[in-house]
Amino acid sequence: MSEAHKRTVESGYDRMAEQYLATKDPEDPLALAALEDLASLLPSGAAVLDLGCGAGVPVTRWLADRGFAVTGVDVSARQLELARTNVPEGAFLKADMSEVEFAPETFDTVVAFHSIIHVPRTGHPALLEGIHRWLRPAGVFLATMTVTDYEGKDENWEGWGAPMVWSHYDSQANVAMLREAGFEIRYVEPRTGKGTGDAETWLWVLALKRSREGTT
């Protein structure tokens, strides 16, 4: 990720962290349903990596409440301050998800809700390959990806006084990247729910780590 791109995402979420948190619904039915799907596949006390954890609501909080060992990564220092308050039992790391590194087979699951969109899309294949590498055998990846192809910048996102950038591919390209990275897809489907403003449609992905030999 270029320094200019990273600074836009970092400073934008620093400036609007509290406003963004206020839009989060702890009872978001789409998020909770997907998290229940995920939890059914995990061992007790599973090690979870939350990429783009934000302020920790609702995803990080939900996972920690169920006894999972959660590590959250976010580029925004202010978001992480809120996350440490909202999820005191979590471990948090300030880092660019496109640059952070973990040892192979560190986590039972990786989740990424509404965050991959802020990584330049040319880096998405490498990010997905990294996620696959960090997962243990038969590890699970849960993410919201995108149904449209788009790159752009808004100088005043949602009227919150902060610029933001997005970069992502359409459904077909995302599915191809997941498979190329080595994932066995359990489901990948567009689902529509309330976003930060109007209803939004995201590509909800639940996938398992498949070895390069084709087994999980």
For residue range 2-29, what is the model confidence (pLDDT) as tens digits? 899 999 999 999 999 999 999 999 999 9
Q: Can you give the pLDDT at residue 214?
A: 45
Does 175 reside within a domain? yes
Q: Which residues contact 191 (CB under 8 A, 6 or more apart)?
A: 30, 201, 202, 204
Query: Residue 33: which domain range?
Result: 3-209
Q: Where does the pLDDT of residue 153 fall: very low under 50, low under 70, confident under 90, or very high at 90 and above?
A: very high
Q: Where does the pLDDT of residue 159 fall: very low under 50, low under 70, confident under 90, or very high at 90 and above?
A: confident
For residue range 33-90, what is the model confidence (pLDDT) as tens digits? 999 999 999 999 999 999 999 999 999 999 999 999 999 999 999 999 999 999 999 9
Choice between 21 and 194, residue whose per-residue pLDDT is larger: 21
Reply yes or no: is the peptide bond before residue 88 cis, omega within 30 of 0. no
Does 185 reside within a domain? yes
Does 214 reside within a domain? no
Q: How many domains does the chain have?
A: 1
Does 125 reside within a domain? yes
Q: Which residues contact 164 (CB under 8 A, 6 or more apart)?
A: 8, 9, 12, 118, 153, 154, 157
Does 216 reside within a domain? no
Does 215 reside within a domain? no
Does 101 reside within a domain? yes
Does 190 reside within a domain? yes
In the predicted model, is pLDDT for residue 187 greater than 70?
yes
For residue range 90-145, what is the model confidence (pLDDT) as tens digits? 999 999 999 999 999 999 999 999 999 999 999 999 999 999 999 999 999 999 99
Handedness of CA 75, 120, 155, 24 (dihedral sign): negative
Q: Where does the pLDDT of residue 199 fall: very low under 50, low under 70, confident under 90, or very high at 90 and above?
A: confident
CATH of the domain at 198: 3.40.50.150
pTM of the model: 0.95
The conformation of residue 16, written as its DSSP 8-state character, comes to T
